[in-house]
Amino acid sequence: MSQSTPDGGLRDSGQFISTTFRQALLPAILSVGGVMASTLANSLIAGNLLGHETLAVLSIVNPVYFVYTTIGSLAGVGASSLAAWCIGRDDREGCDAAVTLAALLSLGVSLALAVLGSLLLEPLLGILGATGELLEPTRQYLRIYIFSGIGVAGIYPPYFLLKLDGWHRLSMALFLFLAVGCVGLELFYVLALGMGLAGVALGCTVANLAAAFLGWAALLWKGSSFHLRSLSRAWSRAPRMLAAGSPSALNNLCGVLRGVALNLLISALAGQAGLSAFSVVSMAGNLSIVFINGLCQTTGPFVGVFTSERDGTSLRQIEKQALKLGMLLIVPVAVLLAVLAAPFCRLFGVSDPETLDLAAPAVRLFALSLPLAMLSTIWMNYYLSARRTWLANLLTVCRAYLFLVLSARVLSGLLGLPGVWLGFTAAEVLSWAVLWAALTLFRRRHPELQGILLLDRRYEEEGRFVSFSVHTSLDEILDASQRISAFCEENQLDPERSMLISLSLEEMLVSIKEHCFPEDETQTISIRILLTPGEDPDRPDIILRIRCGGAPFNPIDYYERHKAETAGEMDELDGLLEGLDDSLGIAMVLAAAPVVDYKTTFGVNNLTILL
């Protein structure tokens, strides 16, 4: 045990946050990898089996994919952010409303767009810039591919919400299924049936629709924490959900506008060969997204819950983990792309000297932007989850569209096609300058908020809370329950309430240790005690929050089961306490505390006690 504030030597080792975060990270990366695998498979199969010229078609159609991801991310990220916030406030109805609205938006709106796009296919081809010899193959591909958007958008809510409910491996399995299905079906339609680009589109469409169906079935099964409710009851939550999902949706919408603008610019500079090079750069971007989005999507639910609980210590810990692991993940990817740019291009069937001479330098220059892109996405995701939506939107618009298109045009005028690829790095640098200026101005108006996280540190500076962790050993638990008295004395709590905190802490930690980690004394339990103003200024409310991994354990349900088993034998509380055996301590806390609440967040036990 160790810590950072003078509260009896109790310390927060950060091990609980670190362990829980790392356990969720790999499934998230593999899940995003499954999503990206379908896009990568399209380019790999088209480029190698149908010729690198088809990569130009995929580049032209790419904005359509971003239209559907805009809808999906608005629904998925918005629902996940709203649900995480509601979980932190024990609002189950709000969680169900988020799921209901996400179903309507991701499935209903994407279906309407697919039908509308099919009816207006010819005007759509013109908007995308499909002309000349690229017109017919783009028409063949888009006629089928446009319906894949129902699955592309529909899979987002299950992806985010399953992880929030602790089903990291199920989410991972779902998207690995998407990857395998996409590759298998596309190879079958192209090689066995000889369908060409139409086969690539059909395989992608069937795989995405199947994955979305399975995702929603898993999300709504009877063992899930989420349920559909009537739309009339959920509708009032729509503005908050849309606001929460707007930065991610805006990022994808910028992808649509950016794709069209850059396609036109690159086509004017280098024709079909330039578009093929841009398609390879997009695949390098998709590869980096596996790590960037996997990391950030792991972080989001943590930040949402910690923000709603005003847990600044955990917020700093989780962002420190994100920054450290983010750089460890993305720097090697950037180096490998830069060193192996030519072999990477050949993976997609780019082998003729003219196109390769354009594509390989493009990948190298694009790789320079990836570490900055990781940092930008981490902070965009933080501000989104911490409900600083305007900052997330500002950063998104600047880096994903405004400064990118502007930099690409200016630098291409000076350097030609390489200036387009340098525009990615320039956009990140300029966006960081704007973010820093915005933070400086905002902190001047709100001096109580500190640092890039914009945390209100007054509780910490005034000693009104303590966060610490203990190992799952009886010695450490008993020691912590005794040493918490220093915190109580500093905050002038009366002896009765000080004893109640110590007793509640000891009894609950002992029960948790016995049921979650019966044979393991090396794990950690995270504890936070927060004093908030009550009705009596001299008598603050005390919130005790305990988190741990291990086996699921709901002490309230455990107590109720024992109470039911002994109900026929005891009528009075004294007799009940004598007969409850190992639930004795839980019964004492329940009798003394007006509120005791248990829930699972990101797959771990979360117990909150109001004293």
- At 425-468, the pLDDT tens digits run 999 999 999 999 999 999 999 888 888 999 876 655 655 778 88
**Assigned CATH for 462-610:** 3.30.565.10
In the predicted structure, residue 35 carries a pLDDT above the cut 60: yes
pLDDT of the residue at 33: 73
Decide if pLDDT at 578 tops 60. Answer: no
- pTM of the complete model: 0.72
* pLDDT band of 580, cuts 50, 70, 90: very low
Q: What is the pLDDT of residues 67-103, one digit of tens each?
A: 898 898 888 888 887 887 777 666 777 788 888 888 8
What does the alpha-carbon distance between residue 61 and residue 129 come to, in Å, rounded to a whole number?
A: 9
CA 467 – CA 386 distance, rounded (Å): 20
Q: Is the pLDDT assigned to residue 480 strictly greater than 60?
A: yes
On whether the CB atoms of residues 558 and 605 are closer than 8 A, the answer is no
| Residue appearing with tokens 């390769």 | 356
CB contact burial 313-337 (16+ within 10 A = b; e otherwise): bbbbbbbebbbebbeebbeebbeeb
pLDDT mean across residues, the chain: 83
H or E element that contains 95: helix 92-103
User: Residue 386 pLDDT > 90, yes or no?
Assistant: no
Q: Which residues contact 426 (CB under 8 A, 6 or more apart)?
A: 403, 407, 411
For the four alpha carbons of 271, 273, 279 and 280, in that order, the dihedral sign comes to negative
Strand partners, 600: 605
Instruction: Give which of 187, 138, 273, 30 is closest to 281, Cα–Cα.
Output: 273
Helix, strand, or coil here: 450?
Answer: strand
Q: Categorize the per-residue pLDDT at 565 as very low, low, confident or very high, splitting at 50, 70 and 90.
A: low
Can you give the pLDDT at residue 41? 78
| Among the ranges given (9-18, 46-55, 428-437, 444-453), the one the predictor scored with the smallest mean pLDDT | 9-18
Q: How high is the pLDDT of residue 566?
A: 63
Break the chain into its structural domains and give their ranges. 15-450, 462-610
Average pLDDT over residues 473-488: 85
pLDDT at 7 over 50: no
232-261: average pLDDT:
80
| Predicted local confidence at residue 582, as pLDDT | 56
Q: Is the pLDDT reported for residue 174 higher than 90?
A: no
Burial of 301 (0-12, 13-18, 19+ CB in 10 A): buried
